[in-house]
Structure 1
Amino acid sequence: MDPRAQDVLLCDLCETDPLQYCCEHCDINLCTNCVSKHLSDSSKKHKIAPYHLHRKFTPKFSKCLKHADKDCELYCESCHIPVCTTCISSGKHKGHDMSDILKKLGSKKQLIQKDLEELEKKIYPRYTEISSAVQTEKAEVQTNYGKLATIADQQGEVWHREVTAIVNKRKADIVETKTKHLSLLDKQADEITHRMTEINQVILEMKNILDNNDISLTSTYKSRNDEFNKLPPTIKVTLPSLSTPTINTETLNEMFGLLSSLSVTTVEPLLDEPQLTAAIDTGYDRLYSVSCLCEDQVWTRGDNETMKLLNLQSELLTSIQTKSGRRPEDIAVTRDGDLVYTDTSNNTVNLIKNKKIRTVIRLQGWRPLFVCCTADNNLLVTMDSDDGEQCKVVRYSGSTETQSIQFDDQGRPLYKSGGYIIKYISENKNLDICVADFEASAVVVVNQSGKLRFRYTGHPSNTKQSFKPFGITTDSQSHILTADRYNHRIHILDQDGQFLRYIHCDLHAPWGLCVDIRDNLFVAECHTAKVKKIQYL
């Protein structure tokens, strides 16, 4: 037997695995695998418990560091050390709170037991899940990178075929051009050969005249030298060339297709128990919207014409009144840190910069409702028609309308009109546009081009009130968070609309929502008029 295992207590049944449990009625120690086997004997009554809770032990008192022959039977709560009776009598711990060392040991063991159960039942299983997910992802990575390599090979084969086709075409062109060239030279050669034949014939005739002294032949002779002196034209054909331009490797790489860079995103897990970290008193009778300027400063709007900038200590830093003197419908902070508000009393969207208000959008026939700022510093505005029959989302770049989102692919309205017009809006990190459509009892999410991705109509768990979303916001993980006012909680969804969990944190009538750059959630409670800061990642 391995000497390292001599102190390991083994299961009484299999005598192989370390014991983890004991049956109090049968007085037998069991490993995890043998528990079910032991319980299968229904003729006896059983009570299974963790072994370490019920095993008997003899306490081993530690020896006092000051008095070597004394056991430390007490614990000094002030000094946080075990002490002996001689230490107490010496007066060094006069006035200190003392407790029995065994009681202290018992409370410590309870704490250890609690930690142990949390580690075994909650923390370690989560690590196991994460580890399993990483292994699964590694396998997927191997497969997906193999697919990328296959795509590269396939692209190479396509290019090879195209290059081979081009080379064959060029070679065919060369053969055709050579044939034309040779044909021209053959024609010229035939003409010269014919002329040379004629000259040879004339030479023979001239020699015959000279040899015969025939007056008749001599008198009829006509010179053709002038004719033959006119040499036939020479055809000069320039040999064609094949251009071989220098290959631009960078351009070639781009034409072949580039591998995108590796994108690494840290995924922060959700806390089991979200933590309330701050509560801000806003001073309103009713509070409706909150928008983060930075980690410790938020803009708020409530039931009057004043918008307030507050810090986490509830201190008023700035307050601004609307130009119309009426209550703003919604507020948002731009990427530059300026405040935007909508005003339904005059159908305007207004920008506040350096405490000066400038109207950037003025609508005709429509009322601006809720607003958010996008990643590229555009504005998204939900609005309804003056007659209350239509609703839409409009994107603005400055004062210019660049996109209108109103209908799905079948021409049906994306957003429900009429009734209680609450349609908070937020843009996700994947550029989806998320609207909390109160009247439709749904979160409506469309992609950047306005195509419907999904509708979330609440989680099918038991609720006192039906799901009616109010505020909405998104975080760096592309989570979608929406306020379920009537059930006093926040729903967290993933970017595809799958429910992840609730946030409660003793919320009362949560209304407006926002997150800061560190993904802290700020919740505007309507009736308490408090802004609550919550850590949930």
Structure 2
Amino acid sequence: MSAEENFAYVQRPIPCDTCENEAPGTYYCTDCRKTICEECEKFHKKLTINHNVILRTQLADTDVNPISCAEHDKQASFHCEGCDTPVCGTCITGKHQGHKMVDLHEVIEEKRKVILSKMNSIQENSLPNHFRQREEMRIEKEEREKDIKMLAGKMEAENKYLHEILDRIHHERMKKLDNYKESCSIIFDSHEDEIEKGISFCGRRVSEYEDALRKNSFAEVKKLAERNEPLPQVRDKPNLPRSPSFIPADVTEIVGDFVKLQAFPPSVVVKHFESITPTIISKFKSPLQGYPRISITKKGNAWLAGHNERKLAMVDMKGRVLDRRIIENRPFALAVMENGDVVINPRSGDSSSVTRLLLDGTEIPIFDSASSGCYGISVTADQKILISTCDGRVLRIDGVGANVKQIYKGSTQTSSIHAVEGADGNIFISDWAIPAVVIVNNDGKVLSTITQSEEGETVQEPSCLVLDNMGNICCSDRAKDCIYIIDKSRKMRKLVGKSLGIKRPRFLAVDCKNYLWVTQRDGSIFVLRYL
């Protein structure tokens, strides 16, 4: 090996041969013929006191492995071509006399070149490829673990929801059965009472007749014979209410929907949305006036608020009204909490206080936005509340209005129309001032700004945002008459538009079946299946 090549070799970084940390090898043990890092060198000196440990940079000036003759205790200087072995000067005049000899250093130099070539190939090709594959495998493993964790959470949520629905159905049916039992008991008790009265009456008359016949009194016999009184009539069979039906149609429907939603491999669940073909499941008019605001309950029904009314209405997927409430202020937006309470952003001019409508109908103010008014409102996974104020801020508060934290401050009053928490814990904000969907972390650091879809369509008025059950974010754009969807990789594509009759969409909600509810300016509400 030439001096230049030897110098290049000792300068090249090589990992430690004795530890698993791949620390750079700074030292070399000429006895063990191993490269050692600084940490291992301390232990090596203690364990092998007599070993010669030098810096790798000294290898160029050190004969680290002198070759000895196999026959004599001398350093070999030649290579016997016929015997393919190193030999010393004594061998040349002895056992190997007459054999073809070459300089040993030339042979070693050629062998070293081959080894150096192999080593370079490993260090420049094989090792980097293995390191790259290891990193790719680590990333892939983390992604799979995230997907599995997400799926487990969704499946647990579905399982909990199914049990709640089945428990509710069981409770309602048992209640019907109890009512039926009570009705039957009342009817039977009434009939039994009348029958007992008839038996008692007949018994008394028989006793009177027997006494009169036994006494043989003309007056008594004449009196009883001439008595004209109606006898109690035997009651007809009671007219009982119809027995309640217990055909499990509702259960079958629920299980069927569950199978449609979950009965496919995880690879399908976590796929992107290239093959989305939205279809309309239901369409109906809001029972309230104007632009409907909307939020979904845990049971899959929707609370609606009108555009200019102090009213709320709960509807099912077919638009049937299940409940109504009168509230103090006209709501701009509303969101349902996990326990069923409804948090309400009032319209500017009515009040600056966010209120919480309890299940018993009590409405309590929980947060004052300092007279700026509010736009959107949403509830996070840990039941915190995100408020988009009319001065461009996004605030996070707890369920009673305390622990206020500002997440975002835009440049204008329309900088934060709506905000929602994503599946990764980051906050998605619809900002009209840019216009864009802005993604920030919980400390307000901007992570990404999405201004156009993958198809190249520019966002114009991003409005309501909602997180679906698969971790995607749906976004309405009322100026473009469309709804976009943002997947977990933050790619945004157009989901649906005028082709399905969508016009001026604003407020969105996703139910437990992953159906998307869309409200429009004309008061109509679409329910879409899109995944």
TM-score w.r.t. the length of structure 2 is 0.48
TM-score w.r.t. the length of structure 1 is 0.47
